[in-house]
Amino acid sequence: MLDEILPYALVPGHAGVFVCGCFERWVSIQLQAIRGHNLAWALIETKRLVAGQRAAVIGGGFAGLSAAAALGRKGVLVTLFERAPALLATQRHNHTRWIHPHIHEWPRPGSRNPRAGLPLLDWHAGLAADMAAEVLNAFAVETARSKIEVRSAAGAVTLGEGPSVSGERFDAVVLALGVGVEKTFGALPLASYWTDADIGTVRPGPARHHLVTGIGEGGVIDTLYLRLAGFSHAELADRLAEVEGMAAIEQELLTIERELEGRGDVDANAHLHARHAGLAVPAAVDALLKSRLRPDTRVTLNGPEAFALAPRADLFNRFILSRLLRLGGLEYVAGAVEDVSAEGAGWQVKLSSGRVLHVDRVNVRHGTVPSLAAAFPEIWAAYAPVRRGLPHLTPRPAWPAGYFG
């Protein structure tokens, strides 16, 4: 297991500095929490940190909190630095997004289990703000128990030799800055996935035309919220499980997933399109989705590939998307966005294909600008080339039962 953790954390030329989950393709709250626990386990097991030594953890998201709590349990003296005024700043005020710990494993056994099942800071499926509150309460217990020092509103900390953080010496520094800040275009205000509070609200009046650009996880999930009334992964996965004939489709979906291995993005995109077109999905699935289509939205989904299904979205979301496309629940338009400009109360969007779209709202879900690159460019310059050479992994818990007490 160490070889699935340490090469992903070490920074050449920067002894004592470790990266946790800042350069990953498969990122969810659960997976980042596992990465935090795993790194703590690896640092303790390889004696890079021992009880009584000092560790700085930079970043107060789920990865940072997990690493801090796990190191604290092993007797390491942890100081947590968070730039924002509060921990879990991204999720703690979001009452719109449903979070489920295992949905990325759907339809494998256990994927509908609502408990995360973590040894520390365990949580339950729910709205982001509620699950964040559950984790923050558990973290407050850990800070008292393990004497973790929390420095929020820390501003821009600096990293030095030793290693040191803003001139203060530590035995190790864990960089848990997350995957970064979302992107936007020109005059279009940044509308973060986590601050789009009304995405699930069904409004009276004429349908609004939304362009969702990006066919990774963020763009596909936004599309599901915008087209399906009351969308929640957990509830919909439960309804699908009741449909006769879904078990066979689930096995076929897993087969298709295995067929993606080794394919590049373009090849995988064409393969998914062809294979989904041939699936004999029970009519009850489409009937269920059709009954939930929102009357107040029209969605154009856009991505760089020829078809809408990309392996960078999770299987569950991608499957629902494939059915909505089949039902005519949205349209897909291929091509890179070249320009977004204001047009009346809405937006004009130019694509590389020459097509021009006129829409009321635009959701840009084009991934993130890495925080690690922005905050610590020298670390990024040393780390990124090595990390690019490593395959993307879904982390597995490395610690044995009872390891963290």
Ligand X SMILES: Cc1cc2nc3c(=O)[nH]c(=O)nc-3n(C[C@H](O)[C@H](O)[C@H](O)COP(=O)(O)OP(=O)(O)OC[C@H]3O[C@@H](n4cnc5c(N)ncnc54)[C@H](O)[C@@H]3O)c2cc1C
- Cα–Cα distance for residue pair 373/216, rounded to 1 Å: 21
Return the number of the residue (283 or 374) whose C-beta is nearest ligand X.
Answer: 374
- Cα–Cα distance for residue pair 253/281, rounded to 1 Å: 11
| Residue 38 lies near ligand X (rule: CB under 6 A) | no
Q: What is the DSSP letter of 347?
A: E
Q: Which of 67, 221, 224, 351 binds ligand X (CB under 6 A)?
A: 221
- Cα–Cα distance for residue pair 68/138, rounded to 1 Å: 12
**Of 62-70, 145-153, 246-254, 394-402: span binding ligand X (CB under 6 A):** 62-70
Burial, 109: exposed, middle or buried (Cβ in 10 Å; 0-12, 13-18, 19+)? Answer: exposed
Q: Are 175 and 22 in contact (CB under 8 A)?
A: yes
**Of 84-92, 300-308, 319-327, 392-400: span binding ligand X (CB under 6 A):** 84-92
Q: How far is the CB of 30 from ligand X (least distance, A)?
A: 6
Using alpha carbons, select from 29, 30, 57, 60 the residue that is nearest to residue 43. 57
Residues 251-310 that bind ligand X (CB under 6 A): none
| Residue 61 lies near ligand X (rule: CB under 6 A) | yes
How long, in residues, is the chain? Answer: 405
Q: How far is CA 291 from CA 81, 113, 229, 244, in A?
A: 47, 26, 9, 18
**Which residue's structure tokens are 């128990």?**
145
Q: How far is the CB of 99 from ligand X (least distance, A)?
A: 5
Strand partners, 99: 126
**Of 52-60, 284-292, 330-338, 342-350: span binding ligand X (CB under 6 A):** 52-60
Binding-site size, ligand X (CB under 6 A): 34
**Of 37-45, 76-84, 107-115, 130-138: span binding ligand X (CB under 6 A):** 76-84
Residues 338-397 that bind ligand X (CB under 6 A): 365, 368, 371, 375
| Residue 314 lies near ligand X (rule: CB under 6 A) | no
| Residue 166 lies near ligand X (rule: CB under 6 A) | no
Q: Which of 44, 80, 82, 105 binds ligand X (CB under 6 A)?
A: 82
| Number of other CB atoms surrounding residue 278 within 10 Å | 8
- Cα–Cα distance for residue pair 390/386, rounded to 1 Å: 7
Using CB under 6 A, list all residues that contact ligand X. 21, 27-29, 32, 58-64, 81-84, 89-90, 97, 99, 154, 157, 176-178, 182, 193, 217-218, 221, 365, 368, 371, 375
